[in-house]
Amino acid sequence: MFAKKCEISERIQKFEALEPRISPNHPIRPTLLKEYKNWLAGYKGEKSLEFHLSMLPDKKYLIFHNIRLLFGKYFFQIDFLILAAAFALEIEVKNRTGEYFFEKYLNQTTLKVSGTHERIKNPVLQARLQAMKLKKWLQKHNFPEIPILHIFVNSNGKASITAERGNEQILRYICNSEGLLEKISQLANCNKNEILNTKELRRVKRLLLTGHTPENFDIISSFHLTYKDIVTGVQCPKCLFLPMDYTYGSWICPNCQCKSKTAHIKAIYDYFLLYKPSITNSELREFLHIESPTSANRILRKLDFTSTGTKKGTIYFLPRHN
Ligand SMILES: [Zn+2]
């Protein structure tokens, strides 16, 4: 069963909030779109594994998607972690098209895409490294030692994988998504000695979930943008025009005349993602292009956010969903 569900990361949500708010001819746009596409493809690959993993017996396996843990001074992130009484399995997922080639010497990996070779990080070694970190992390939390296995799963149906002669053993740590269940059952057959009891499994689950620290990715500074680069206002849900006009409690699109009473909600969430997880009346007016503090107040009160302070000093907070 999923102890931590496969959900879209906040990083991708930030890309989605930023993209429509960067003007079409801004020089950062191509880089921004390229990175967004890469992260989204990665997520889609992970999401596609969810279906296979959901077929694992509920009682036997705990599945965690995207766990980020602090070890020493640094964080490490695991795409999927499968936990059973006898072993844990660390899964590194890649969703890239092309031909993977695992070289014998130096354990180098290349990916050939439309005729060009690109040297990439060896995903099996990446998985192994994360598994080692997890092992140390569990040791640090005084946990009984269990085998921590690792594999790289290729989730892309258009990718092919080969290993150089003499390096075929690496293929044991690789599978395609459609072969994942079989791989897990093979690993379970080789690791039958149940080490963790139900209570310990529950404890490690709690430990992982409380140890998980979502990243705090500041998308604006990471692309060296300033607030002046961000187009403010409410986006039309129909034709995506920015900004809509606010008249008598409704948002009207000057481009397609679409009328909406709720289009501002997405804009406020964009604000939370791009700037900070709180907003005041005057910040709301500036971002949504509303003149009247009373209208802004009405909008904020209707959204039922938690708040601190009174009158002009009221700060409204992003609701937390966990
Ligand atoms: Zn429109």
The model's pLDDT over 33-83, given as tens digits with 9 standing for 90+, comes to 999 999 999 999 999 999 999 999 988 999 999 999 999 999 999 999 999
Whose tokens are 């080692």? That residue is: 132
pLDDT tens-digit map of 124-164: 999 999 999 999 999 999 988 999 999 999 999 999 999 99
What is the pLDDT, as a whole number, of residue 8? 95
Tokens of 61: 């396996």
319 has pLDDT over 90: no
Distance CA 51, CA 234 (A): 36
Of 178, 211, 244, which marks where a domain is finished?
211
238 and 194 inside one domain: no
Instruction: Report the separation in Å between the CA atom of 249 and the middle of ligand 1, taken as the mean of its atom positions.
Output: 17
DSSP run (H or E) holding 12: helix 10-18
122 and 185 inside one domain: yes
Instruction: Report the separation in Å between the CA atom of 237 and the middle of ligand 1, taken as the mean of its atom positions.
Output: 7
Instruction: Report the separation in Å between the CA atom of 247 and the middle of ligand 1, taken as the mean of its atom positions.
Output: 15
171 and 276 inside one domain: no
Distance CA 30, CA 240 (A): 19
313 has pLDDT over 90: no
Residues with CB under 5 A from ligand 1 (ion): 236, 238-239, 241, 253, 255-256, 258
Kindly report the pTM of this predicted structure: 0.89
Instruction: Report the separation in Å between the CA atom of 306 and the middle of ligand 1, taken as the mean of its atom positions.
Output: 31
292 and 161 inside one domain: no
305 and 161 inside one domain: no
43 and 160 inside one domain: yes
150 and 250 inside one domain: no
Of 211, 246, 275, which marks where a domain is finished?
211
Tokens of 153: 């799963």
321 has pLDDT over 80: no
24 and 148 inside one domain: yes
Query: What total number of domains does the chain contain?
Result: 2
Query: Mean pLDDT for the chain?
Result: 94
Which CATH number is 240's domain given?
1.10.10
Q: By residue range, what is the domain housing residue 266?
A: 232-317
